[in-house]
Homo-oligomer: A and B are copies of this chain.
Amino acid sequence: MNARNCLEVLRKIKDVAFATVDEVGKPQVRIIDVMLVEGERLYFCTSRGKDFYQQLERDGNVAVTALTPEFQMVRLNGRARRLANQKEWIDRIFEENPSMNDVYPGESRYVLEPFVIDCGNVEFFDLGVTPISRESFPVGGGEVSEKGFVISDACIGCGKCLRGCPQQCIEEGTPFRIMQEHCLHCGRCFEECPVQAILRR
């Protein structure tokens, strides 16, 4: 996998969830079509009358997710920016997604504004394999922030973390090591460690 593949998965699913934050700081989420993907750029559109549009124009922060039929979750976090050349982009979007004409016939399409997400990070989280598998990639000039837990040198090698891990994704060593690519981030090891050697990051 890479960032581009992840965006292509979202395009294939097409109807995906877009989350934003509203004017009072609450989460909002709705299903939006992924209209185009080119390289590490994901394009969508929305109409100027919608709360979603206002929220995008305020700061552009957006989080996107969808699940494949094989239980692979893609999570994209980044910033959406509105594109200049509105008519050109909307025409292209309608050409590649002709069912849009059923909802916005004729000239009414131009109440829509095109947006791109081209900077952020994306995670591919495969729940269809054992152990689960996860991988993160930067999108455009974005950065990946590593999450979850790490075992520090304070580890006494007792093995309690490993015995409790639901995915058995901790390997012995000095210190023991969490296989980050298979970790659920459930925090059980963090809770079980008798010497608080496991750190949340």
Chain A residues within 8 Å of B, Cβ to Cβ? 15, 17-21, 25-31, 47-51, 61-67, 71, 73, 75, 77, 102-108, 111-112, 127, 130, 132, 147-149, 164-167, 184-188, 190-191, 200
In the bound complex, do residue B186 and residue A27 qualify as a contact, i.e. CB atoms below 8 Å apart?
no
Oligomeric state, in copies: 2
Which one, B62, B66, B127, B147, contacts A27 given CB within 8 A? B62
Chain B residues with CB below 8 A from A51, complex form: 147, 185
In the bound complex, do residue B111 and residue A65 qualify as a contact, i.e. CB atoms below 8 Å apart?
no
In the bound complex, do residue B21 and residue A25 qualify as a contact, i.e. CB atoms below 8 Å apart?
yes
In the bound complex, do residue A27 and residue B21 qualify as a contact, i.e. CB atoms below 8 Å apart?
yes
In the bound complex, do residue A61 and residue B27 qualify as a contact, i.e. CB atoms below 8 Å apart?
yes
Which one, B48, B164, B200, contacts A191 given CB within 8 A? B48
Chain B residues with CB below 8 A from A186, complex form: 47-50, 104, 108, 111-112
In the bound complex, do residue A29 and residue B166 qualify as a contact, i.e. CB atoms below 8 Å apart?
no
CB distance from A199 to the nearest CB of B (A): 12
User: Do A31 and B66 form a contact, CB below 8 Å, given A47-B188, A187-B50, A191-B48?
Assistant: yes
In the bound complex, do residue B187 and residue A17 qualify as a contact, i.e. CB atoms below 8 Å apart?
no
Chain B residues with CB below 8 A from A62, complex form: 27
Bound-state CA distance A148–B26 (Å) is 18
Chain B residues with CB below 8 A from A75, complex form: 29-30
Bound-state CA distance A13–B75 (Å) is 19
Bound-state CA distance A186–B105 (Å) is 13
Starting from the known contacts A27-B63, A31-B67, 16 additional A-B residue pairs (CB-CB under 8 Å) come to: A17-B17, A17-B29, A17-B65, A21-B27, A25-B25, A25-B61, A27-B27, A31-B65, A31-B66, A31-B73, A47-B185, A49-B186, A50-B185, A50-B186, A108-B164, A111-B186
Chain B residues with CB below 8 A from A26, complex form: 21, 61, 63, 77
